[in-house]
Amino acid sequence: MPRPPRLSLDMMETLVILFECEGDASMAADMLEINQPSMSKRLGILQHSNPLARYPWLEKQGKLWVLTHEGERNLPAIRDIVRTARNLQEDLDERVERAPDISIACGQLAVQTFVRHALLKFRKRNPELRIRVSTPRGEERILGVATGHYDVAIVTHDEADILNIAKRPLHVENLFEDPWVATCSNKAPKEIRQKFESLPGKITFADLVGFPLLLPEPDAGMRKKFDRAVIAAGLQDKLSVRMELGGWNTLLEFVKDGWGIGIVSRQSSLNQKLMTKELQAEKDWQPAAVRLITRPIDDDQTESTSLQELTELIKEASPK
C-alpha cells in the first residue's frame, strides 16, 4: 500500500507561529522567512479538507486567520511536537557552539529568588565558569534533563509525572513544600470579595465552588495535580474556570485586576498585597512540592564537582 500523506513539521510550525502572531499571516511569513505565495499555499492546505486533514483547521475572518473547532482540538498536540522539534534543533545547534559549563532550567519565580541567591554564592567561588539559565515550561525542563540539554532543573511535577515525561529514571530531590493558596483582589466584584473574606484561613476544594477561578495552563505540573485532586473530590463538574494563564506573575496580575480567584503557589503569592486562603490537604493528599532533578550519576560515571556544589547551594538557598 502507498504511504498515506502526513503533516510535515513545516506545516505544524506554520500553524503554531501563525497563532503566536495572533492570526497575522504576513507577520508569520516573516518569522518563518518564507514569501507570501509559499505562506498562502500552506494556509490553503490547512483551510480546506484534504488527505492531510479530514476537516479544515483554519478559516479567515477579515484580515486575520482563526482556528476552526478541529484546529482548536489539534493545536495543543501540534505545539508539543513543535516544542520538541525546536528543543532538538537547539540542542544540535549548541553542539556546534561552545556549550556552557553548567545549564539550569527553572521557572521565573525560582530564578528571581532562591536559584539567584545560590548562583550569587556560586559565582564568588567559581567566577570563571560559564552558566546558562533557561526558563522553559516544566515538561521541557524535565525532557531537557533527560536528554542532557540541561544539567539540573527545578520543577513542581509529581515524581510519577516526572518519570512519565522523561521516559527514563532521573534523580529527584524534594527542595521544599509549596502549598497552594487561593488569592483574591480588592478589585474583585463585591459579592465575590465578601464571600472570599468570609472563608476560614484554610479551605478545601469544595469551598471553591461558585467562584470564577484563574488556573495555570493544563500542561503545567501544578495544574495536573490540581485536576487530579478535583476529580478525586468529585468536583470536576462543579468548579468554574474563567481563565487559564501561563506563568505565576501573569496569573497574579489578572487576579489583581479582579478577574476572579487565582490558584497559585504560596511562594508566588508572597508580597503581592492580595487576600489569601491556604488550600487544605485532603485525606491521603501529598502537599505540592518544588523538586530538583538531575540525571543519575551512573549515566555520566562521575558528576562534576562544580555541579555538585551548585546543587548543594540551591538546596541551602531554598525556602525553609
Of the pLDDT bands very low, low, confident and very high (cuts 50, 70, 90), residue 298 is low
Asked whether residue 145 is domain-assigned, the answer is yes
Chain Cα centroid distance, residue 54: 31
Domain boundary (92, 111, 130) is at 92
What's the mean pLDDT when you consider all of the chain?
87
pLDDT at residue 42, as a whole number? 84
pLDDT at residue 55, as a whole number? 80
Per-residue pLDDT averaged across 178-187, rounded?
92
Asked whether residue 150 is domain-assigned, the answer is yes
pLDDT at residue 297, as a whole number? 73
Listing DSSP states for 46-64 in one string gives HHS-BTTBSS--EEEETTE
Asked whether residue 28 is domain-assigned, the answer is yes
Same domain (yes/no): 187, 271: yes
Element (H, E) at 287: none
Same domain (yes/no): 117, 67: no
Same domain (yes/no): 171, 185: no
Assign 239 to helix, strand or coil.
coil
Same domain (yes/no): 305, 172: yes
- Cα(74)–Cα(65) distance, rounded to whole angstroms? 16
Same domain (yes/no): 171, 216: no
Same domain (yes/no): 172, 26: no
Same domain (yes/no): 306, 170: yes
Most confident of the following: 27-36, 190-199, 292-301: 190-199
Of the pLDDT bands very low, low, confident and very high (cuts 50, 70, 90), residue 301 is very low
Asked whether residue 98 is domain-assigned, the answer is no
Q: In sequence order, what are the beta bridge partners of 291?
A: 155, 174
Per-residue pLDDT averaged across 269-292, rounded?
80
Burial class (CB in 10 A: 0-12, 13-18, 19+), 105: buried
Asked whether residue 288 is domain-assigned, the answer is no
Asked whether residue 161 is domain-assigned, the answer is yes
Domain boundary (47, 64, 92) is at 92
Same domain (yes/no): 275, 221: yes
Domain boundary (92, 118, 149) is at 92
Asked whether residue 289 is domain-assigned, the answer is no
Asked whether residue 87 is domain-assigned, the answer is yes
* Nearest alpha-carbon partner for 209 in 177, 185, 233: 233
Per-residue pLDDT averaged across 227-250, rounded?
89
Helices (H), the chain: 9-20, 25-32, 36-47, 69-96, 108-112, 114-125, 138-147, 159-166, 190-197, 221-232, 248-256, 266-269, 297-300, 305-317
pLDDT at residue 96, as a whole number? 55
Most confident of the following: 72-86, 161-175, 221-235, 279-293: 161-175
Same domain (yes/no): 194, 267: yes
CATH number at residue 138: 3.40.190.10
pLDDT at residue 300, as a whole number? 46
Q: Is the pLDDT of residue 73 over 90?
A: no
For 40-62, the pLDDT digits (tens) are 888 888 888 777 667 888 888 88
Give the domain extent around 67: 9-92
Of the pLDDT bands very low, low, confident and very high (cuts 50, 70, 90), residue 286 is low
Structure-model confidence comparison of residues 224 and 252, the more confident one? 252
The answer to whether 136 and 276 are in contact (CB under 8 A) is: no
Per-residue pLDDT averaged across 52-80, rounded?
85
CATH number at residue 50: 1.10.10.10
The number of folded domains in the chain is 3
Same domain (yes/no): 189, 270: yes
